[in-house]
Chain A
Amino acid sequence: MKRQRYLPTPVLSLVLLVVWLLLVRSLAVGQLLLGTLLAVAIPLLTRGFWEPLPHIRRPLKLARFVLVVLWDIIVANLQVSRLILSFKRQAQPGFIEYPLEVKERLAITLLANTITMTPGTVSTSIRPDGESLLIHALDMHDEQALIHAIRERYERPLKEIFEC
């Protein structure tokens, strides 16, 4: 109860502390204290603006997810570059509607951002009811295959991480 009151979001506080230490580039005691103060004060002051954040159930899965996404960003860059540079092959653009399985708002945000960062897809719009996501694909040959790939590669892990 007490912890809930004074430290509502421990992960956010930790991130703030690390960002502060990186910004000032020192590990002096004074900076550590100041950083801790900020890390506690900022979440408390801005608490009114935060939605209740879902708990991360499986940190290991999250780490694995981050690595997968990083790797996919590299692959995405290579693919898009090849498409831009090649004279013969023309891209086949298309819109698809992706039915969402996750319902947690943070998870949907993460999924939309991930989709934008990875191979040839940009998320364009979310239906207000949060049921589906509009995606523009740069080079799409099989709609079902793309939906399947996104579901297996990104949505499943996110769902398991937040267990929603």
Chain B
Amino acid sequence: MTFFVIIEGVLAFLLVAGGIFAFNGSLGMLRLEDFYMRLHGPTKGTTLGIGCVLLASMLYFTVTQREFHVQELLITLFLFLTAPVTGHMLAKTGLHMHVRFSPRSRGSLPEFHDEDVGQGRVARPARARHPWRTRKARRSRLRQGETS
């Protein structure tokens, strides 16, 4: 009996911890300031979050159905293979598109080589506009027109 209580506690802990880590990774997207920093949230926070949930799943089905459930390990394997590659490709694309980084970043860098950023400016999508900001600008322009 106590065995099941302990297992239940461990399961609850793993699920809650997994949820917190996954949430944290997503929160990083909101709180960090430039593209390269935001990349850190999903590549790490989610890995451990999903790891915890998968561990809980393995434990739960192993205990309740009394047979080993290990195919969740496959998900972990594929995740560990794909997450760093995705992060690397995103960062590389960011460099090529000349995505701005925070002025506070430091290091030996900013003198990038041509191979890193490409020689010419790569075509980049138009900057997203804030709808309310443009509306405000238009309104102020109109107001100036009225006064002059």
Contacts and interface: CB of A to CB of B under 8 A. Distances in A.
A28 to B, nearest CB: 14
Nearest to A87: B31
B16 interface: no
Interface residues of A, number: 38
A112 interface: yes
A129 to B, nearest CB: 9
Interface in A110-133: 112-114, 116-117, 120, 122-125, 127-128
Interface stretch (B7-15, B78-86, B129-137): B78-86
A120 B104 contact: no
Interface stretch (B66-74, B120-128, B139-147): B66-74
Nearest to A24: B71
Interface stretch (A37-45, A46-54, A73-81): A73-81
Contacts, number: 127
B24 A84 contact: yes
Interface in B20-77: 20-21, 24-25, 27-28, 31-32, 34, 36-37, 39-41, 43-45, 47-48, 70-71, 73-74, 77
Which 10 A-B residue pairings sit nearest by Cβ, starting from the closest?
Answer: A95-B109, A94-B107, A116-B84, A124-B91, A113-B84, A77-B48, A93-B105, A95-B107, A81-B24, A84-B28
Interface of B: 20-21, 24-25, 27-28, 31-32, 34, 36-37, 39-41, 43-45, 47-48, 70-71, 73-74, 77, 80, 83-85, 87-88, 91-92, 94-95, 101-102, 104-110, 113, 115-116
A116 B43 contact: yes
A84 B31 contact: yes
Interface SS of B by simple majority? helix
Contact of A94 (B77, B94, B106): B106
Given A81-B24, A112-B84, A97 B47 contact: no
Interface in A6-54: 19, 22-23, 25
